[in-house]
Amino acid sequence: MALVVQKYGGTSVGTVEKIKSVARRVAKTKDAGNDVVVVISAMAGETDRLISLAKEITEMPDEREMDMLLSSGERVSSALLAITLKAMDYPARSFTGRQAGFITDGVHTKARIKKIEAQQVRDALARGEIAVVAGFQGVDELSHDVTTLGRGGSDTTAVALAAALQADVCEIYTDVEGVYTADPRIVPHARKLDRVCFEEMMEMASAGAKVLQVRSVEMGMKYGIPIHVRSTFTDKEGTMVVPFSEEMEAVLVSGVTHDKNQAKITVMGVPDRPGIAKALFTPIADAAINVDMIIQNVSQDGLTDISFTVARTDLPKAIEVMKEVVPTLGAKGFTTNADIAKVSIVGVGMRSHPGVAAKMFETLANEGINILMISTSEIKVSCVIEDKYTELAVRALHDAFIGERGSSGKGEEG
């Protein structure tokens, strides 16, 4: 008998019919003799509906109250799934984040889990019940206010709970069949990966693969919880996210990812003196805006330009900060560009194979795509390009590194 944590996303529980289908899958897992914990997202569209209600009131709604507001979505879907399971005569019980023991810090809308006191869930399992846990939420350890873990936070709820309960596997059910070598909507012959290692998955997630939240992968890696990404709508095996093993080493590039949620800010004519980066980026960090890439031009006449990227959704907040900060720097001004995208190639094989970045730049150049910014890690190369070229770039990179029509990417390094 295994302990299985299953997480179902918003599209998997978007209607009553879909909730019933999820319930049948949960019941099947239970019938197979497993203990089952289900983590569930809000019904598709519900979170957006609540956000737009708040935005009708004010552009910048209070964040404590946003958490109170948004946490209701998972409460609804968890209760509906528990109702369905009980109507099918399976003992089940829904849990809010608080009841499931999720204690977080006090950073509203982006809280981090401090600890999980999951005794109530353990008790439910000991009674033979299926535990249905509202994802995405917890309570502040100090104020006991409701907090949320940020968009996609239910993945993190699931993996963290799997770690706390020492589950055998964490299954992430979604509307795609697993992790692909590229987005199949852009590259029709993209292949589903049977296995991917945690590090690759983390780079792919942070480079725009939407299938898993970065923090959930980080947590799976930290606690050694195998994550099985699979489809709610078929019984096919999906993609196993597992620790790195030798047999994977040959793969140079596992996937090509893209992220259109990107915007660039350029500060012009900044005096090139020590402390200027700190003066620029500290207020950005204080506003909880994540900066991705940074480039600084060669200084001329003691002045330089600094460009950096942020999530496009954070751009309005970033512009507010820049209006305050830029005048204090003695800079000439700033410009913004929201028409950019990031394309990335990810693979553990890059560690031992130089020349991958060069081949990526060549591939993009051959298509006439200008590279605006570059960043690299041990197992990833990312380029910022004009967003109108995104699909073209992804297809070209997939062909170059992974192969056309399903051929394997092995040995294709340039």
Q: What is the smallest separation between the CB atom of 23 and a second copy, expressed in angstroms?
A: 9
Q: Does 211 bind a second copy (CB under 8 A)?
A: no
> Who's near 171: CB < 8 A, 6+ residues apart?
4, 5, 6, 7, 227, 228, 230
For a second copy, give the closer residue by CB, 80 or 221: 80
Q: What is the smallest separation between the CB atom of 237 and a second copy, expressed in angstroms?
A: 29
Q: Does 365 bind a second copy (CB under 8 A)?
A: no
Q: What is the smallest separation between the CB atom of 96 and a second copy, expressed in angstroms?
A: 7
Nearest-angstrom CA–CA distance, 408 and 38: 35
Number of chain residues interacting with a second copy (CB under 8 A): 37
Q: Which of 239, 104, 241 is nearest to 184 (CA)?
A: 239
Nearest-angstrom CA–CA distance, 412 and 414: 6
Cα separation values, 172 from 9, 169, 250, 374, Å: 8, 10, 27, 32
3-state secondary structure 152-210: CHHHHHHHHHHHHCCCCEEEEEECCCCCECCCCCCCCCCCECCEEEHHHHHHHHHCCCC
Q: Does 287 bind a second copy (CB under 8 A)?
A: no
Q: Does 16 bind a second copy (CB under 8 A)?
A: yes
Among 51, 86, 107, 272, binds a second copy (CB under 8 A): 86
Q: Does 78 bind a second copy (CB under 8 A)?
A: yes
Q: What is the smallest separation between the CB atom of 60 and a second copy, expressed in angstroms?
A: 8
User: Interacting stretch for a second copy, rule CB under 8 A, among 86-94, 109-117, 187-195, 401-409?
Assistant: 86-94
User: Interacting stretch for a second copy, rule CB under 8 A, among 33-41, 93-101, 270-278, 371-379?
Assistant: 93-101
Q: Does 185 bind a second copy (CB under 8 A)?
A: no
Q: Does 125 bind a second copy (CB under 8 A)?
A: no
Q: Does 50 bind a second copy (CB under 8 A)?
A: yes
For a second copy, give the closer residue by CB, 76 or 303: 76
Q: Does 338 bind a second copy (CB under 8 A)?
A: no
Nearest-angstrom CA–CA distance, 312 and 316: 8
User: Interacting stretch for a second copy, rule CB under 8 A, among 88-96, 188-196, 255-263, 315-323?
Assistant: 88-96
Q: Which of 64, 132, 69 is nearest to 96 (CA)?
A: 132
Angle between helical axes of 198-206 and 214-223 (0-180°, round to 10): 160
For a second copy, give the closer residue by CB, 132 or 176: 132
Q: Does 61 bind a second copy (CB under 8 A)?
A: yes
Among 6, 12, 99, 257, binds a second copy (CB under 8 A): 99
Among 1, 33, 57, 166, binds a second copy (CB under 8 A): 57
For a second copy, give the closer residue by CB, 79 or 392: 79
63-94 burial string, b = 16+ CB within 10 Å, else e? ebebbbbbbbbbbbbbebbbbbbbeeebebbb
Counting Cα atoms < 13 Å in the Cβ hemisphere of 228 gives: 16
Nearest-angstrom CA–CA distance, 400 and 312: 29
For a second copy, give the closer residue by CB, 124 or 217: 124
Nearest-angstrom CA–CA distance, 168 and 355: 39
> Who's near 186: CB < 8 A, 6+ residues apart?
258, 390, 391, 394, 395
Q: Does 64 bind a second copy (CB under 8 A)?
A: yes
Residue ranges that bind a second copy, judged by CB under 8 A = 16, 19-20, 50, 53-54, 56-58, 60-62, 64-66, 68-69, 71-73, 75-76, 78-80, 82-84, 86-87, 93-94, 96, 99, 144-146
